[in-house]
Amino acid sequence: MSVIIPFGKSGMPLHADLGRAEVLESRVGELKAADTEDGLVLAAMASPIDSPRLRELAAGKKTCTIIISDHTRPVPSKHIIPVMLSELREGSPGIDVTLLVATGFHRPTGKEELVDKLGREIVEREKIVIHNSRDASGNVQIGTLPSGAACVIDKVAAQADLLVAEGFIEPHFFAGFSGGRKSILPGIASRTTVLANHCSEFIADLHSRTGILEGNPIHKDMVWAAKEAKLAFILNVVINEKKEAIYAVAGDFEAAHIAGCEFLSSLCKVDAKPADIVISTNGGYPLDQNIYQAVKGMTAAEATVKKGGVIIMLAKSNDGHGGEGFYHQLADEPDINKTLKLFLSRDRNETEPDQWQTQIFIRILQKAAVIYISDASDELVKDLHMIPAHSLDEAMEKAEAMVGSKEASVTAIPDGVSVMVIE
């Protein structure tokens, strides 16, 4: 077989003796982009959906904040931000622009990570602010979410004359899709707002799943927050396995986002192929830098693994567990059912950091055992209720022993965050 399973910045081959494996892949990789990445962005900016051009929105404005993705998101910002800056200054030559890094609940993005994302010229020339969800002094309440929680966002965004955002659209394991309104919530929202939006009630809702927007309570709050923040314009892209833009959409944050989601859905919906053993990944770097993020790729496997089966998850995890709350919620309590019961008993305003990720991970562990291939220590992997392995050969040997057959059915998902597996 010629299938390569992404791992960090390289990958691992799916060996020929796994020829029996069903392979679930999106068709994004088959799509031939209509233009270069720069060309796609320019074309989208020239024909925005349900919106004037960005240069028209900028006319007469003194300040603008562009929300940009952080180091965990493979958005090809080098091809997006220069075009957005050019249009803004064409519409308002003296406009004061700030790039606001949407860290959400992630660690701050470092300078070299910004250089890698934006290029050194932009990093040295432009004003850049890193959002801090925990800094009360840097955030301001702009209203109350439909769910009843306070909607608090970064002052740099709230106080701008014009607020716009870049981003990318991919399937998202509880928000339905990334992109669009997610630049606001959780991107530049406060700790309080993110926690309430990611409450156990919403995470448990059957509409809070990959590829679902309608009826999704998490999405509903996110859209409200973006409207209240006055997000005026977005430029979102769809990327291939090489992290290159193959499609771009711009304009109204709702209409343009929906157009992008519909385009992506046509390429990445796949039917489940139930199997005893399911191999999945987070698509390699940069989304597989920690175990916390790797839960996303596991949800694709969850949708097709048989009850009582085994998931083999590959994620380099060079940054370790990725969340203190996530780690301790799992490592400090051996009974995952007890932990889940505790989460479900909490009010949305009592949600603790990382609880949502732990809740989803427990749901996965209740269905299947997880063998984890990574650079993380065996001790860390075991602390998180998984079985460590360091190669596909080793993981397959363990998985076959666990299901009791060397002829066990196998499904491989080379990129678990790029597909929507339909059960």
Active site residues: 106, 172
Cβ 67 vs Cβ 32: under 8 Å: no
Read off the DSSP letter of residue 96.
E
Nearest-angstrom CA–CA distance, 277 and 309 = 6
Find tokens 């494996």 and name the residue: 21
Nearest to 101, CA basis, from 62, 129, 61, 138: 129
**Inter-CA distances, 412 with 268, 278, 300, 419, Å:** 15, 6, 10, 12
Q: What is the secondary structure of 120-151 as a DSSP string? A: HHHHHHSEEEE--TT-GGGEEEEEE-TTS-EE
Q: What angle do CA 306, 309, 315 make, to 5 degrees?
A: 110
Record the tokens describing residue 107, joined without a space. 């660690």
Cβ 403 vs Cβ 309: under 8 Å: yes
Nearest to 225, CA basis, from 54, 67, 81, 41: 67
Nearest-angstrom CA–CA distance, 319 and 113 = 14
Q: What is the secondary structure of 270-294 as a DSSP string? A: EE---EEEEEEE--STTTTSSHHHH
Nearest-angstrom CA–CA distance, 347 and 351 = 7
**Inter-CA distances, 140 with 155, 274, 285, Å:** 6, 47, 34
Question: How far does Cα 322 stand from its chain's mean position?
Answer: 14
Please, what is the end-to-end C-alpha distance for the chain in angstroms?
26
Query: What values do phi and psi take at 314, rounded to 5?
Result: -105, 120
Read off the DSSP letter of residue 91.
H
